[in-house]
């Protein structure tokens, strides 16, 4: 099946700093989503971005499907950005399931 790798696995930032999270995948996809899992375990949708670039406030994401990677940018980080960020993809060959990466754990400190 498709492999999804996220980097870095852990990241510590001071409030106000910027960061880039990366997601590499091993096969063609027709769905790619970024999630933020908050301390209570809820998966919050950030972006649905099988290709192209999107922005939402301080967050933006870019997926280059032909090169099999996606990037999530966080600018001017805040303590509320802390948590785990997951990339999940649906392979073009499957009808249904998302395959998740192992996540990037972000801690934003004062």
Partner 1 sequence: GAGVSQSPSNKVTEKGKDVELRCDPISGHTALYWYRQSLGQGLEFLIYFQGNSAPDKSGLPSDRFSAERTGGSVSTLTIQRTQQEDSAVYLCASSLAGEQFFGPGTRLTVL
Residues that bind partner 1 (CB under 8 A): 30-31, 33, 35, 40-43, 45, 48, 50, 86, 88, 94-100, 102-103
Cα distance between residue 104 and residue 106, in whole Å: 6
For CA atoms 67, 73, 79, 80, the dihedral sign is: negative
Instruction: Report the candidate in 88, 85, 90, 89 with the shortest Cα–Cα distance to residue 103.
Output: 85
- CB nearer to partner 1: give 18 or 97: 97
Among 58, 64, 54, 52, which Cα is nearest to 22's?
Answer: 64
Cβ at position 25, least distance to partner 1 in Å? 15
- CB of residue 48 to partner 1, shortest distance in Å: 4
Beta carbon of residue 96, minimum distance to partner 1 (angstroms, whole number): 4
Nearer to partner 1, 62 or 94 (CB): 94
**Closer by beta carbon to partner 1, 45 or else 56:** 45
Q: What's the min distance (Å) between Cβ of 93 and partner 1?
A: 12
């Amino acid at each position: 099946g498709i492999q999804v790798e996220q980097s870095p696995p852990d990241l510590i930032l001071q409030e106000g700093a910027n960061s880039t999270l990366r997601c590499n995948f091993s096969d063609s996809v027709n769905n790619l989503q970024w999630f933020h899992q908050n301390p209570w375990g809820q998966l919050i949708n950030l972006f649905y971005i099988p290709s192209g670039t999107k922005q939402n406030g301080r967050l933006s994401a870019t997926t280059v499907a032909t090169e099999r990677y996606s990037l999530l940018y966080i600018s001017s980080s805040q303590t509320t950005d802390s948590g785990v960020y997951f990339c999940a993809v649906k392979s073009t060959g499957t009808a249904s399931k998302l395959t998740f990466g192992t996540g990037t754990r972000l801690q934003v400190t004062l």
